[in-house]
Structure 1
Amino acid sequence: MTIRTALLTSVALAIPAMAVADGHVGERGRDGEVSIIYWQAPSTLNPFLSSGTKDIEAASLILEPLARFDETGTIQPWLVDEIPTVENGGVTEDLTQITWKITPGLVWSDGTPFTSEDVKFTYEYCTHPEGGCAQAAKFEPVESVETPDDLTVVVNFKEPTPYPYTAFVGGESPIIQKAQFENCIGAAVSTCTEQNFGPIGTGPFVVTEFRTNDVIAYAANENYRDPNKPAFATVNFKGGGDADAAGRAVMQTGEFDYAWNLQLAPEVIAQMEAGGQGQPVVGFGPLVERIELNHTNPDPALGPDERSVIRPHPFLQDPAVYEAMSMAIDRPLLVEIGYGQAGRVTCNLVPAPEIFNSDTIDCSTQDLEGAKAKLEEAGWVDSNGDGVREKDGVELRVLYQTSTNAVRQDFQALIKEWWEEIGIATELRNINASVFFGGDAGSPDTFQKFYADVEMYANTFNGTDPQAYLGGDLCNKIPSPASQWQGENITRFCMEEYDALWAELARTSGVEARAEIAKQLNDMQIMNGARIPLVHRGRLSAHANDLGGIKLNVWDSELWNIADWYRIGG
């Protein structure tokens, strides 16, 4: 048994990912400023306090992991000399331990040495029982972390772990500085505003100003390990607005250099591209637009510490209800109006890589009459003729929330129409994306709080193996007041059988065997009403024609190689 059998792609060992790109060499800061617009504005620069992609990616300019995934999904050494494997002695033959060798000479942006103690502290920070960590699933298999010397990190696993590349790998699991965060652990994690808004990192940039849900100003890290990088002296990172304005700011007016996640209809993208200032880039990874079904009761009468905690939901765990809701949806139409060639119908949470894409469930054809019949057979009937089905005094009424975005509001309007046609009254709500995807434990409007019956959004995972991603639906990953509303299990789905099967995945070797278990986990979620997948989305962004070095990455942070960006002709 070797660790390579657990990998989907070859492990790159010979060429450091931060080598000079495209032969473009010059003085650090030579190209002035680069302007980036994320229409979902970051609310924190601590990726352990937010599941929002916007926050994780804004932080990736500063904070880095030991290893990450390149644009092909291949794991690359980042702050280490090579990727540990069984073959090179970095992973033990019994698969219970992995040893990372930190590259000598690395320093934090404040000039202090980057050491193994920082890595160990990051583990302690995210696994503290009194804290809340949005990326806790990455550390689920880990028993302990040891530091034999300043440049050696030994990760011990609870049991044989064929895929050991979750903790400290990818943009969702970077290293934070012990000296900066050691007083911000446990219950204090959300109180350290200065640290969370201005982390010290090893990345190519440092924060000079952070205005939550608005603008971030970065400057080149003068202690960055490559003296010729980054090419840009400063970054203007604008947050907020909408996808339409962001796309136009790059492709039509040229006001910005890079626009992220242009969730817009295909004809709108084409019109923007005709502006001649920039071009769209697209890639398919595991990004899925889905509807999450609340497994707890979000009734406002329960109070803030009880909503989305008390079980069960009044009706969403009835298979007839969630199956009918799914049957009523015309997914091909959603793809056509929302994404065109940048979208595909999916019935799965994990549609990519293809080996993990289950073919068990077919949801590609809308069946309104079948949905009505299913509800009728289960005893959900419209007894008073008001168009709303009820059973045992409970009416099928849902609050359906999502972020503010033209495509999502189009989806809401259509799905409301379909659900009401089968007898489910649907109230729509949309929330500013910067707030909805923020990590503010005091806000009632975050997707983690889930103060609604159903909510719609998309997310993805780093790398090509979904183990940690599927681990986000374990029972102990449910956001609650006790975890300061952090945790990946947004739906509050909880099944002992699921947890047991995930544990089997964590100790299973071989891509084919792992894929079979992962597909079973996917099916278990969908068949038990955790969520309703809608669209497998391509990640579509845009960059200015004179911005070089762009390599769209659907397997890690989209800004993963910003140190290699440069101004063409600069």
Structure 2
Amino acid sequence: MGISSIARHLALAGLLIAGTAFATVAEAQSGKTITGGFDVGPGGLPKNFNPLVSTAGFTWLSTYFEPLVIWNAELTELKGSLAKDWKVSDDQLTYTFNLAKETWHDGKPFTSKDVKFTFDLARNKASGSLFAARLGDIQSVETPDDRTVVIKLSKPNGSFLAVITQVLILPEHALAGIAPDQLANSKWWSTTPVGTGPFKFKQYVTDQYVELSADDDYRGGKPKVDTLINRYFENPAAAVAALRAGEIQFTYVEPDDAATFKNDSNYTLIEGGSYVVNYIGLNQKVDLFKDLKVRQAILYAIDRNAIVESLYGGAAKVANCGYVTPHLVPEGLEPYAYDPEKAKALLAEAGWGKINGDKPITLLTYYGSPQAANVMAAIQSMLAQVGVNIVPRVVDTPTYNGIVYKQGTPDWNAFPMIYAGLQNGPNPAGLNPGLNKSQLPPAGFNTMRIEFDDLSAAFDAALGQTDSAKVNASWQDVCKAMNKDLPWATLWVANRYGVASKKLKDFVWTPAPAGGPYAAHPELWDIQ
């Protein structure tokens, strides 16, 4: 299937999405101000203030909260943030962190008690934390003194340090009085949050913007600008319009928009791998997708190469497991090349007519961009050709999370299929929360309730691998299990783009999974 065929699919679906108008917001600030659409893009949204329940937006959250350790901007190694340094015991069960000297934005001292409080809260399912299962190997958090934290694990976990880069440390003195089960919906996050980062919270104007002011006493030095503003937009097109109008100095952009900035001397185009695999999740709590032949048929029915070339402009790599990094992908994987006739045959063998027939199936997603709409329209048309009738449903991220992470017994029919993304790097262990049977919600990200024994065993083996010479082979085994069992219909890993005004100086943005965190050093950002 070629590009012209994609266009026909989109025409059949009646969807080629255009941008909509945007609203402006007055920015009458004294001193230097940088304004950006820092949360525009997949997962970016207003109300994304609580880092314990956030699945994205860490680019912004980490300007006023901080983790113990953080990725460098190149996503190649970990460095200290609130931890000056750390050491790991020979048996890889004990992590000792030496803490930096810092104060909270309200003047209270930051101590090891805040770290213990945060990790205890992050491990508590009642708080709504999405880290509960990911931190399940923690046996104890000890605080021998104000500047030292000792975390002991019950078993080695090769992803532990990578996981805690997203555990942003919270103030015990400000939150201890709020019951954990009341914390997720507390107004504290959007009214009076207190962090340790280079900027401190000033105000949130509902659905419009968040304003931060410089923390003059930040340990990394006084920020070079006085105010940092994160504006919210209805869609990426509105953000691009604001960028071109000079109202903001940075935003995420879609590939089509990125091309228009490439040779514009007024802007810097930033491009890089997203480290996020896009996939169609197939809910194992419904009968529709329990047969492997049905899952295989769905992949054979989708011309992934044509979508990548047409709708991503070639700026994506087809994925036959959860990642595309060459040293993690073994030879001999089934490529699931586009073959609609094979898809029809597999569906017939599985008895699709009796299982579902042409009844509509909801494809739930939080991706609301024009590009995503066109991708889903193409997939919808391709699947219709083999007898699978899907109906995309786009919701905002809080609504999506409320549906798929619902405690108790969710309405499985509300999300039999999802179109989503999950980080696959820079540490491939980022996929574990979405696929291991030990990571079922509400504790983990396994929203499709996948409980495949071979796959979970492969993840457990890779996470527990302590021999650096064998780590890559262990993750290749995970890839093989994904490719064979198809817990998801894996699609591609796309590039991600940001555009920054040339007025910005020393500005750092990395297309990181979930937005980071990574060492962007916003205290050094400046503007002409």
Shorter-chain TM-score above 0.5: yes
Question: How far apart are 1:511 and its partner, in Å?
Answer: 3.6
Question: How far apart are 1:364 and its partner, in Å?
Answer: 6.2
Q: Matched residue of 2:374: which SS?
A: helix
Question: How far apart are 1:372 and its partner, in Å?
Answer: 1.0
Question: How far apart are 1:256 and its partner, in Å?
Answer: 0.9
Matched, 1:548 2:512: no
* Aligned partner of 1:339 among 303, 312, 315: 312
Match of 1:308? none
For 1:97 and 1:459, how far apart are their aligned partners in 2?
Answer: 28
Match of 2:420? 457
8 Å CA contact retained: 1:110, 1:223? no
> Greater CA deviation, 107-116 or 361-370?
361-370
Match of 1:179? 173
TM-score by length of 2: 0.84
Matched, 1:474 2:458: no
Matched, 1:528 2:485: yes
Match of 2:129? 133
Match of 1:263? 254
> Greater CA deviation, 150-159 or 284-293?
284-293
- CA 1:138 to 1:554, structure 2 compared with 1: closer, same or farther past 3 Å? farther
For 2:402 and 2:363, how far apart are their aligned partners in 1?
Answer: 20
Matched residue pairs, number?
490
8 Å CA contact retained: 1:283, 1:552? no
8 Å CA contact retained: 2:507, 2:524? yes
* Aligned partner of 2:516 among 557, 560, 564: 557
Q: Which amino acid aligns with 2:63?
A: L
Match of 1:305? none
- CA 1:417 to 1:224, structure 2 compared with 1: closer, same or farther past 3 Å? same
8 Å CA contact retained: 2:36, 2:248? yes
Match of 1:107? 103
Matched, 1:76 2:79: yes
Q: Matched residue of 2:49: which SS?
A: coil
Question: Mapping of 1:43-62 within 5 angstroms?
Answer: 43-51=47-55, 53-54=56-57, 56-62=58-64
For 1:499 and 1:364, how far apart are their aligned partners in 2?
Answer: 23
* Aligned partner of 2:266 among 268, 277, 302: 277
- CA 1:428 to 1:81, structure 2 compared with 1: closer, same or farther past 3 Å? closer
Match of 2:340? 368
For 1:507 and 1:117, how far apart are their aligned partners in 2?
Answer: 29
Q: Matched residue of 1:424: which SS?
A: coil
* Aligned partner of 1:400 among 360, 363, 369: 363
Matched, 1:424 2:424: no
Question: Mapping of 1:445-524 within 5 angstroms?
Answer: 451-460=414-423, 464-479=426-441, 483=442, 487-524=444-481
For 2:457 and 2:191, how far apart are their aligned partners in 1?
Answer: 38
Matched, 1:254 2:246: yes
* Structure that is richer in helix per residue: 2
Question: How far apart are 1:494 and its partner, in Å?
Answer: 1.7
- CA 1:424 to 1:472, structure 2 compared with 1: closer, same or farther past 3 Å? closer
Matched, 1:223 2:214: no
- CA 1:532 to 1:119, structure 2 compared with 1: closer, same or farther past 3 Å? same
Q: Which amino acid aligns with 1:192?
A: S
Matched, 1:318 2:291: yes
* Aligned partner of 1:245 among 238, 242, 252: 238
- CA 1:460 to 1:393, structure 2 compared with 1: closer, same or farther past 3 Å? closer
For 2:230 and 2:401, how far apart are their aligned partners in 1?
Answer: 17
Match of 2:67? 65
8 Å CA contact retained: 2:70, 2:518? no
- CA 1:504 to 1:459, structure 2 compared with 1: closer, same or farther past 3 Å? closer
Match of 1:11? none
For 2:404 and 2:217, how far apart are their aligned partners in 1?
Answer: 34
For 1:558 and 1:146, how far apart are their aligned partners in 2?
Answer: 25
Q: Matched residue of 2:152: which SS?
A: strand
Question: How far apart are 1:164 and its partner, in Å?
Answer: 4.1
8 Å CA contact retained: 2:47, 2:190? no
Match of 1:116? 112
Question: How far apart are 1:321 and its partner, in Å?
Answer: 1.0
For 2:234 and 2:211, how far apart are their aligned partners in 1?
Answer: 18
8 Å CA contact retained: 2:118, 2:169? yes
**1:295-344 CA distance string (max 9 Å, x none):** 22xxxxxxxxxxxxxxxx12111111111010111111111122224322
For 2:240 and 2:435, how far apart are their aligned partners in 1?
Answer: 34
Match of 2:33? 33
Question: How far apart are 1:156 and its partner, in Å?
Answer: 0.3
Q: Which amino acid aligns with 2:495?
A: G
TM-score by length of 1: 0.79
Question: How far apart are 1:291 and its partner, in Å?
Answer: 1.4
- CA 1:202 to 1:359, structure 2 compared with 1: closer, same or farther past 3 Å? farther
Question: How far apart are 1:253 and its partner, in Å?
Answer: 2.4
Match of 2:93? 96
Unaligned runs of 5+ in 2: 1-28
Question: How far apart are 1:75 and its partner, in Å?
Answer: 0.8
Question: How far apart are 1:531 and its partner, in Å?
Answer: 1.4
For 2:110 and 2:467, how far apart are their aligned partners in 1?
Answer: 34
For 1:272 and 1:436, how far apart are their aligned partners in 2?
Answer: 33
- CA 1:277 to 1:451, structure 2 compared with 1: closer, same or farther past 3 Å? farther
